[in-house]
Amino acid sequence: MRTEGKYALVTGASSGIGWHFSGLLAAKGYNLVAVSNQAEKLEALKNHLENLWDIEVLTHFTDLARQEAAAEVYAFCETHNLHIEVLVNNAGMMVYGEMAGAGTDHAMSILQLHMTTPAMLCRLFGEKMKARRSGYILNVSSISAVMPYPTISLYGPTKTFLRYFTRAIRTELRPYGVAVTCLMPGATDTSLNDPESSVQDMARLAGKPMDPAKVARTGLNALFRNRPRSVPGLINKAIVLLVPVIPHGLIATIFRRLLHSASENHHQS
């Protein structure tokens, strides 16, 4: 694989899985466009990778949960005349709790960040990849894409969109030599997850959260092998297969009991 003069664009590059995506791509010889809303961490990433590898890292500080974010990122790359060979849509945020209690701005942000922005980045950069008949797109979904469950009613379904969107554009772009892969990690040891949440408690019962470096390596290996999907970890693979067959009535019953228990505890305190 010849990577001279080619760039990989990673969203959410400044921490967690995104940091490791960036490091692995740099090790392959790709120059980087690192996008994030964490300015200081972006500069730390740039200094770290440019000292370690003979590559260039361009940083772009922005909030990807804005309607105009994808167009601005694309314009940044066009202005600098960058050849984006690899697009990694990794940026994400978590919202726990009931949908009716979520702040409107926060709810809109997660919808924008997980659906509109990555879809538009795929459209804009995918068009160029299609014309060149080469390129790689990795979209980071989640095993929660198979979990339309209460308390993650904004997170899980937005990741479901990303899962099926990725499958659709893979079919569209594959005849033009563009590889498109969906990465579906489970609980991962990053700052995205709230250690106090009940969802994280259940995730820990299924096993220790995965190392973000391993998740990133598994995802990129699948992408460069042109695999349609990657689910890191045997337990996560089992969850993706088995959870969809759990009757939703059972989930509803468990949720009602949890609400009842929480209400009783509140009255007793």
For 124-176, write each residue's pLDDT tens digit.
999 999 999 999 999 999 998 887 777 778 898 999 999 999 999 999 999 99
- In this prediction, residues 3-23 reach a mean pLDDT of 92
The band of 43, judged by pLDDT with boundaries at 50, 70 and 90, is: very high
The whole-number pLDDT of residue 193 equals 45
What's the rounded mean pLDDT across residues 219-224? Answer: 98
Q: Which of 84-93, 194-203, 247-256 has the lowest mean pLDDT?
A: 194-203
User: Is the predicted pLDDT of residue 113 greater than 90, yes or no?
Assistant: yes
Asked whether residue 223 carries a pLDDT value surpassing 80, the answer given is yes
Of 3, 69, 4, 67, give the one whose Cα is nearest residue 35: 69
Q: Where do the domains of the chain lie, and which CATH numbers do they carry?
A: 7-268 (3.40.50.720)
pTM, two decimal places? 0.85
CB 28 within 8 A of CB 53: no
Phi-psi region of 103 (alpha: psi -120 to 50; beta: other; left: phi over 0): beta
Among 46-55, 87-96, 195-204, 222-231, the minimum mean pLDDT is found in 195-204
Q: What does the radius of gyration of the chain's CA atoms come to, in whole angstroms?
A: 19
Q: Phi-psi region for residue 178, left (φ > 0), alpha (ψ -120 to 50) or beta?
A: beta
42-51, 100-109, 165-174, 197-206: which range is least confident on average? 197-206
CA distance 128 to 2: 18
Contact of 212 with 19, CB cutoff 8 Å: yes
Vertex 208: Cα angle to 237 and 148 (nearest 5) = 50
Residue 238 confidence (pLDDT): 85
Return the higher-pLDDT residue of 258 and 17: 17
Band (247; pLDDT cuts 50, 70, 90): low
What does the block give as tokens for 32?
Answer: 């980087």
**Adjacent-strand bridge partners of 188:** 210
Higher pLDDT, 199 or 119: 119
Instruction: Inform me whether the pLDDT recorded for 210 exceeds 80.
Output: yes
Q: Which whole-number Å values give the CA distances from 193 to 16, 48, 94, 156, 231, in the listed order? A: 11, 25, 7, 13, 18
